[in-house]
Chain A
Amino acid sequence: MATDVTYGAPSGAAADRPPEAAPPAWKNGRNLGLGRLYLRRFLRNRLAVAGVVIFVLLVLFSAFGGLFTPYTHSDADFAALTQPPSAAHWFGTNQGGNDVYASAVHGLQRSLVIAVSVSVLTIVVAAVIGSGAAYFGGRVERATLAVIHFLLVVPSFLILALVSHRLAGDWRVLIVVLTVFGWMSTARVIWSVSTSLRERDYVTAAEFMGVGALRIILRHLIPNLGSLLIVNLTLGVVATVLSETALSFLGFGVQTPDVSLGTMLADGASTVTSAPWLFAFPAGLVVLLTVSMTFIGDGLRDALDPTSVTGAAGGRR
Chain B
Amino acid sequence: MLRYVTRKATGWLLMIVVATNATYFLASWFLDPRSNFKELRPVRSEIQIDRALAPYNLDPQVPIVRRWWDWLTSVVLDFDWGKSPTGVSVNGEIGYRSLVSAELVVIATILSVVIGVMLGVYTASRQYGWADRISQAVSIAVFNIPTSVAALAVVFVAIWLNQHAGLHFLYVAGENSPNVEGLLPTIGDRLLHLILPTLTLTLMGYVGYHLTQRSLLLDTINADFVRTARATGLTRAQAIRRHALRTALIPTATSVAFSVPALFTGAVITETIFGWNGMGRYFIQTISKNDVHGTVATAAFAAALTAVGAILADIATVFLDPRVRVS
Top 6 closest pairs, chain A to chain B, by CB? A155-B302, A290-B144, A157-B265, A166-B30, A283-B149, A249-B148
A241 neighbours in B (Cβ, 8 Å): 146
Stretch among A112-120, A134-142, A219-227, A272-280 lining the B interface: A272-280
A161–B287 touching, CB < 8 Å = yes
B198 is an interface residue with CB less than 8 A from chain A: no
Residue in A closest to B155 when the chains form the complex, CB atoms: A272
Known A156-B261, A162-B27, A162-B31: A246·B156 in contact at CB below 8 Å: no
Measured CB to CB, the residues of B under 8 A from A are 15, 18-19, 22-23, 26-27, 30-32, 140-141, 143-149, 152-153, 155-156, 159-160, 257-258, 260-262, 264-265, 268-269, 272-273, 283-284, 287-288, 295, 298-299, 302-303, 306, 310
On whether A245 and B148 interact (CB within 8 A), knowing A158-B298, A272-B155, the answer reads: yes
Flag if A153 contacts B149 (CB, 8 Å): no
Q: Report if A131 contacts B (CB, 8 A).
A: no
A269's partner among B15, B148, B159, B303 (CB-CB below 8 A) is: B148
Contact B140 A158 (CB under 8 A): no
Contact B299 A155 (CB under 8 A): yes
Q: In chain A, residues 216-254, which have Cβ atoms closer than 8 Å to a Cβ of chain B?
A: 238, 241-242, 245-246, 249-252
Complex: A294 Cα to B141 Cα, angstroms: 9
A163 to chain B, nearest CB (A): 6
Decide: B284 and A163 in contact? CB cutoff 8 A: no
User: Which residues of A are at the interface with B, using a C-beta cutoff of 8 A?
Assistant: 150, 152-159, 161-163, 165-167, 238, 241-242, 245-246, 249-252, 262, 265-266, 268-269, 272-273, 276, 279, 283, 286-287, 290-291, 294
Which residues of chain B are within 8 angstroms of A265 by Cβ–Cβ distance?
Answer: 146, 148-149, 152
Jot down 23 A-B pairs with beta carbons below 8 A, ordered by A.
Answer: A153-B15, A153-B303, A153-B306, A154-B303, A154-B306, A155-B303, A157-B264, A157-B268, A159-B26, A161-B287, A162-B30, A163-B30, A242-B146, A246-B269, A249-B269, A250-B268, A265-B152, A269-B148, A272-B156, A279-B152, A283-B153, A287-B141, A294-B143
Of B146, B287, B299, the residue contacting A252 (CB under 8 A) is: B287
